[in-house]
Amino acid sequence: MTPRIETTTEKKLIGKRLTMSFVNFKTGELWQSFMPRRKDITSNLANDLISLAVYKPTHFSDFKPTNEFERWATVEVADFDNVPKDMETFVLPSGLYAVFDYKGLNTDNSIFQYILETWLPNSDYVLDDRPHFEVLGDKYKNNDPTSEEEIWIPIKTK
C-alpha cells in the first residue's frame, strides 16, 4: 500500500477528548458521547468526522501498550465563534503527511503495524511530532469490512 504525500493547511476542530492507552482503549466511549452532540456544532466545513490522536514525542520510540495519549472525536469548523458546552477546540497545525486510503474494519490494527513497522522504515521519512488523524467520510461505516477512511500519519524527511 503506497500513500500519497500531502501538506495540510492548519485546521480548526471542535470536539471531545479522552485520555487513554491501547490497554485502556476508550474510543467507543468517546464517540458515543460525541455523536449525539455533533449537531450542536454549527460552523462545520464538511460532513466528515476527524478522529485525532495526540501522542507524546516518545510514544512510539519507547512504545508500551500502557502509554497514554489523547484521542479526539471532532469535526472541522470555519471558526471557534460558537463552541458547544462540554466541547473543546483544537488547532491542527499544518504539515507533511503520508495519507493511506484504508478499506476494512476499524478494529483491525494491522494497517498501523504495516505503516509504522514496514512502510515508514523503508521510506524517505520519519514520524513527526504532530497529531495523527483519520478522516471518516461518507464511505466510513463503523465496524464494517467495507468501510473506507483516510489515515493521516505526520512525517518529515529523514
Q: pLDDT at position 116, please? A: 92
Domain count, the chain: 1
Q: H/E/C letters for each residue in the chain? A: CCCEEEEECCEEEEEEEEEECCCCCCHHHHHHHHHHHHHHCCCECCCCEEEEEECCCCCCCCCCCCCCEEEEEEEEECCCCCCCCCCEEEEECCEEEEEEEEECCCCCCHHHHHHHHHHHHHCCEEECCCCEEEEECCCCCCCCCCCEEEEEEEEEEC
DSSP β-bridge partners for residue 70: 19, 54
What is the mean pLDDT for each group of 10 consecutive residues in the chain (158 residues)? Answer: 95 98 94 96 94 95 94 98 96 98 87 94 96 96 91 97
What is the per-residue pLDDT for 79?
Answer: 97
Is the pTM value of this prediction over 0.85?
yes
At 109 the pLDDT is: 82
Of 83, 116, 65, which is closest to residue 13 (Cα–Cα)? 83
The amino acid occupying position 45 is L
CATH label of the domain that carries residue 27: 3.20.80.10
Domain ranges, residue 99: 4-157
Which residue's entry shows cell 500513500?
3
What is the model's pLDDT at position 1?
85
